[in-house]
Structure 1
Amino acid sequence: MSRKQKGIPHTYEERLLWYATAPRAATKKLHSIVDKEIVEGFGGTLRGHIVSLKNEPYRKPTRSAALDLARRFRQYCIDEAVKKGLLKP
């Protein structure tokens, strides 16, 4: 039996509002091994979680590209929440 953590949204609508009302976008440095070499990149984050849009990789080569991705994801969440009537336009 699993317990739900406090403060973390669980339904789609709750998560949509949680990301849409995120105060700021940030980035995290990511490291992985590809072809026996360490590859560095960046991931855009909202509220400490790495985010990405559909059909777009979450790893970006530059910090500014990752930040732009996080901002576009937040705007997508805002637009979706307004469409569903969860936020006022």
Structure 2
Amino acid sequence: MSEATTPINKSPGRVFYWVERIGNKIPNPFLLFVYLILVLMLATALFSWLDVAVKNPATGELIKVNNLMSVAGMQWIFPNIIP
């Protein structure tokens, strides 16, 4: 007869070990915020270049994407960064 295999250890310590490993790989929260802003700026540039627009269901008005990487976008970002 073959020897019975031991069940996989599902103790809370093992879960915390994996949470800690994943948490240590995540960058600083400030850098995450900066990275997300850069992704948002690149997305607005792409969608603006593709002339993406959505229709406001309440008014029926067509709203175009504003490129945040343009001069006008930068002039809007800096005064509105902190409300």
Same fold per superposition (TM over 0.5): no
**TM-score with structure 2 length normalisation?**
0.37
> If you compute each CA radius of gyration, which structure gives the higher value, 1 or 2?
2
**TM-score with structure 1 length normalisation?**
0.35
Higher relative contact order (CA 8 A, sep 6+): 1
- Of Structure 1 and Structure 2, the greater strand share is in 1
